[in-house]
Amino acid sequence: MVNFTLRKLLGMIPMLLIITFLIYAGIELMPGDVIDFLIPMDQLAEMTAEEVAAFRAAKGLDGPMIVRYFNWLLGVCKGDLGYSLQNNMPVAELMMQKLPATVELSLASLILSSFLGILLGVISALKKGKIADNVLTVAGMIGVAIPQFLFGIFCIILFALNLQWFPVGQRGAGGLLSELHHLFLPAFALGISQTAGVMRYSRSAMLDSMNCDYVKTARAKGLPEWKVNMLHGFRVACTPVMVLIGFRLPTLISGAIVIENIFQWPGVGVWFTDAIKTQNTPIIMSVGLFMVLMVLLSSLLVDILTAVLDPRVKLS
Amino acid sequence: MAEKNNDVVLSVKDLHVYFYTNQRCNKVIRGVSFDIKRGRTLCVVGESGCGKSVTANSILRLLPELSRIEEGSITYYKEDGTEVRLDQLEKNGKQMRKLRGEDIAIIFQDPMTALNPVYTVGKQIEEMLKEHKKGMTKAQYKDAAIEDLADMGIPAPDIRYGEYPHQFSGGMRQRSMIAMGMSCEPKILLADEPTTALDVTISAQIFDLMNNLKKEHNTAIMMITHNMGVVAEMADDVAVMYMGNIVEYGPVEKIFTNPSHPYTQALLRSIPVLGKGKNQQLEPIRGSTPDPFKRPKGCQFCPRCDYACERCQNEMPPEEWVTEGHYVRCFNYKEVTESGK
């Protein structure tokens, strides 16, 4: 297992290089010149070509893209994420301010959607063809189809403004209870499609499992129904569901950006979209690097989890 | 059924089981009666879909959701003399669950899928013990499970105990299934085509094992098969099923030497005999099994039967006793028996 993990981690390096390079190239391909965002237009008009070039050089914006990419890479290897072009603040410091909120939201959403999705999926499978199953099936389709931002706004209007069960937005302060109270609605809105997806998938995995002979064996042993359903049916259905959850984890991270905007969540979301708009390369690259790392790590986690859950899977 | 004696552990009388699918009713079992006796093996033979497995599953109430026992009774006679009407118990209720595994165990056809892939074989045997023999220590459960494996002739049982089903061969898995089935020393062992998925040598070993169990523990065995060779090898009693009825039932000698139902005769004629040479004539049964939703009105075998008369087309023949303990569902059984000789 240790061996496997190490090999997988090493294997991530080339992937990280390729993906970060692609992001860097993407920023480069964006229309407009970053200088336009850094110097007000009237000032820029008065500057001479030499002055502009000097400014570029000072910001490290001169030279061919490939050189600048490797400079950035070198910095990252040394633990230096660079400085924001806008206000010269160190990116690492800014990240430390914004990232916890985003991670908190994504994690909460992951836990909520997995728990809810699996629970409803299993209920749906055990009540197959009954009213509960039909209702959940329709709800599941709506959940998968509805755009996140729409659902987020809908949640705010219904649960925050009309029913006033939850605060409209922002992160809670002062005590765990207040934090959870603020966290629930955005986490729920962020996880809606994940919940629906996990639910549909759990239902079919559970049905598959319940149709297998070992469930009949379990019943023939005289086990009570809950043991038959949970220890035999659900335990086997677990593996594919975990894989699905792991692979959909990235959508939670990227989806957080939209939801953070709607719920005024003080995470990287708004900051990141602003950075893209102003071509703030160090910020885009740092957040991008973080997301890519999350995706790769979650796929590693899926591999390990599968091997833990299913003894037939060997890590090699 | 004939006289009631103390050897009978399970008695099925006039059992009707119907399946309801797509608003249609399939009368899968249409009046089946037989006894399972202590220390004897009852073999149930018949072609696919004739209701053999459904009969076995009805006994343990393991039928799928859309099916129902409509009529008849399944009575289990406990050793202390009390009678339990299995058909009247709640399907997954406490009483039924207590009987499952402890008094009546079942082995399924395919050992590849009958064991749960995510638990060790040892744990799956222990699960049975823990359900029925409460209050033992962890180590005792483990020892008991290892002993069960050892009893089934599994080499290195203490290592095998901690292995997963996928690390077992087919024969080993079936042995483990039997070990699990026998772990609580049930009075009845239902074996639903236990060797269909295994090769011939392994089958022979499994049969030996079952014969030993029968002798040592006086277990009653009900074995479902469609192999007449297995019947000859294993059976004390035979029930021949066709389209949801037992068409002939009796001790194995009687069935083989004096088959009284046209279907039994036809079955026996369709088996190749080793040593008769390449040119032996096998007689397949003409026609094919009718659609269960469009059954013949009278005797189910009538359209394929050489002895069919007008009465057969309209009426299901009742169980007629040929000799003691040997019944047949055929109006013309006397004629059939004569010509079969």
- CB of B102 within 8 Å of a chain A CB? The answer is yes
- CB of A129 within 8 Å of a chain B CB? The answer is no
Q: How many helices (H) and strands (E) are present in chain B, helices listed first? A: 13, 12
Same domain assignment for residues A162 and A271? yes
Mean pLDDT of B288-312: 84
Q: From chain B, pick out residues whose CB is under 8 angstroms from the CB of A212.
A: 113
Q: From chain A, pick out residues whose CB is under 8 angstroms from the CB of B164.
A: 311-312
A233 to chain B: closest CA residue: B116
Residue B2 in this model has a pLDDT that exceeds 50: no
Mean pLDDT of A31-53: 80
B1: confidence class by pLDDT, cuts 50, 70, 90: very low
Residue A2 makes CB contacts below 8 A (sequence gap 6+) with none
Mean pLDDT of A295-310: 86
In a domain? residue A315: no
For B298-303, the CB contacts below 8 A with 24+ separation are B299/B329, B299/B330, B299/B331, B300/B242, B300/B243, B300/B244, B300/B245, B301/B242, B301/B243, B301/B247, B301/B261, B301/B262, B301/B263
Same domain assignment for residues A193 and A71? no
Tell me which range, A43-57, B74-88, B278-292, is most confidently predicted by mean pLDDT: B74-88
Q: What is the CATH number of the domain that holds A225?
A: 1.10.3720.10
Report chain A's terminal Cα–Cα distance, integer Å: 8
Q: From chain B, pick out residues whose CB is under 8 angstroms from the CB of A218.
A: 116, 127
Share of chain A above pLDDT 90, in %: 22
Q: B340 vs B113, which has greater pLDDT?
A: B113
CB B149 within 8 A of CB B157: yes
Share of chain B above pLDDT 70, in %: 98
Residue A314 in this model has a pLDDT that exceeds 60: yes
Q: A198 vs A316, which has greater pLDDT?
A: A198
Q: From chain B, pick out residues whose CB is under 8 angstroms from the CB of A221.
A: 100-101, 127-128, 131, 180
- CB of B110 within 8 Å of a chain A CB? The answer is yes
Share of chain A above pLDDT 70, in %: 99
DSSP A161: I
Same domain assignment for residues A229 and A106? yes
Structure tokens at A258: 């939209």
Same domain assignment for residues A136 and A231? yes
Torsion angles phi and psi, residue A242, rounded to 5: -60, -40
Residue B4 in this model has a pLDDT that exceeds 70: no
Residue with tokens 């040997």, as numbered in its chain: B326
Residue with tokens 């008695």, as numbered in its chain: B11
Q: From chain A, pick out residues whose CB is under 8 angstroms from the CB of B60.
A: 220
* Helix axes of A65-77 and A2-29: crossing angle, nearest 10 degrees: 140
Residue B5 has what pLDDT?
Answer: 59
In a mutational test of the A interface, the residue from B54, B94, B118, B193 whose CB has the highest number of chain A CBs within 10 Å is: B118
| Record: contact B116-A214, CB cut-off 8 A | yes
B44: confidence class by pLDDT, cuts 50, 70, 90: very high
B72-102 pLDDT, tens digit per residue, is 999 999 888 888 898 888 888 888 999 998 8
Structure tokens at B120: 């060790």
Give the structural domain span for A259. 92-309
- CB of A220 within 8 Å of a chain B CB? The answer is yes
Give the least confident one: A62-71, A243-252, B80-89. Answer: A243-252
| Record: contact B117-A312, CB cut-off 8 A | yes
Same domain assignment for residues A79 and A156? no
Q: From chain B, pick out residues whose CB is under 8 angstroms from the CB of A205.
A: none
Residue A53 has what pLDDT?
Answer: 83
Residue A124 in this model has a pLDDT that exceeds 90: yes
User: How would you classify residue B199: left for phi > 0, otherwise alpha for psi between -120 and 50, otherwise beta?
Assistant: beta
Q: Which residues pair with B35 in a beta bridge?
A: B11
| Record: contact A222-B98, CB cut-off 8 A | yes
| Record: contact B108-A217, CB cut-off 8 A | yes
Mean pLDDT of A95-112: 88
B316-328 pLDDT, tens digit per residue, is 888 888 888 898 9
Mean pLDDT of A226-241: 91
A306 to chain B: closest CA residue: B118
Same domain assignment for residues A133 and A247? yes
B132 to chain A: closest CA residue: A222
Which of residues A67, A84, A101 is at a domain's end? A84
Same domain assignment for residues A262 and A244? yes
Which of residues A62, A84, A106 is at a domain's end? A84
Mean pLDDT of B30-52: 89
A211 to chain B: closest CA residue: B64
B289 vs chain A: nearest CA distance in angstroms? 27
Mean pLDDT of B40-63: 90
Nearest to A222 among B102, B118, B120 (CB): B102
In a domain? residue A316: no
Which of residues A40, A67, A84 is at a domain's end? A84
Reported pTM: 0.80
Same domain assignment for residues A28 and A50? yes
Mean pLDDT of B201-223: 88
Residue A68 in this model has a pLDDT that exceeds 50: yes
B130 vs chain A: nearest CA distance in angstroms? 10
Same domain assignment for residues A42 and A152? no
Nearest to B106 among A220, A224, A239 (CB): A220
Q: From chain B, pick out residues whose CB is under 8 angstroms from the CB of A213.
A: 108, 110, 113-114
A171-216 pLDDT, tens digit per residue, is 777 777 888 888 888 888 888 888 999 999 999 999 999 988 899 9
A316: confidence class by pLDDT, cuts 50, 70, 90: low
Mean pLDDT of A98-124: 90
Residue B341 has what pLDDT?
Answer: 53
B171-192 pLDDT, tens digit per residue, is 889 889 988 988 888 899 999 8
The CATH class for the domain spanning B8-103+186-340 reads alpha beta
CB B69 within 8 A of CB B59: no
DSSP B25: E
| Record: contact B62-A219, CB cut-off 8 A | yes
- CB of A217 within 8 Å of a chain B CB? The answer is yes
Same domain assignment for residues A253 and A115? yes
B127-185 pLDDT, tens digit per residue, is 999 999 888 899 999 999 999 899 888 889 999 999 999 999 888 898 899 889 888 88
B63 to chain A: closest CA residue: A216
Residue B3 has what pLDDT?
Answer: 45
| Record: contact A224-B92, CB cut-off 8 A | yes
For A205-209, the CB contacts below 8 A with 24+ separation are A205/A121, A205/A237, A205/A240, A205/A241, A206/A121, A206/A122, A206/A125, A206/A126, A206/A233, A206/A234, A206/A237, A207/A125, A207/A128, A208/A237, A209/A233, A209/A234, A209/A236, A209/A237
Same domain assignment for residues A61 and A154? no
Counting one residue from chain A and one from chain B, the pairs whose CB atoms sit within 8 A come to: 71
- CB of B197 within 8 Å of a chain A CB? The answer is no
In a domain? residue A99: yes
Mean pLDDT of B237-248: 91
What average pLDDT does chain A have?
Answer: 86
Domains: count for chain A? 2
A8-25 pLDDT, tens digit per residue, is 889 889 999 999 999 989
Q: From chain B, pick out residues whose CB is under 8 angstroms from the CB of A239.
A: 118
Domain ranges of chain B: 8-103+186-340, 113-185
What average pLDDT does chain B have?
Answer: 87
Same domain assignment for residues A235 and A116? yes
Residue B340 has what pLDDT?
Answer: 64
Residue with tokens 């959870």, as numbered in its chain: A180
| Record: contact B116-A223, CB cut-off 8 A | no
Mean pLDDT of A99-107: 87
Residue B75 has what pLDDT?
Answer: 92
**Of chain A residues 230-289, which have a CB less than 8 A from chain B?**
232, 235-236, 239
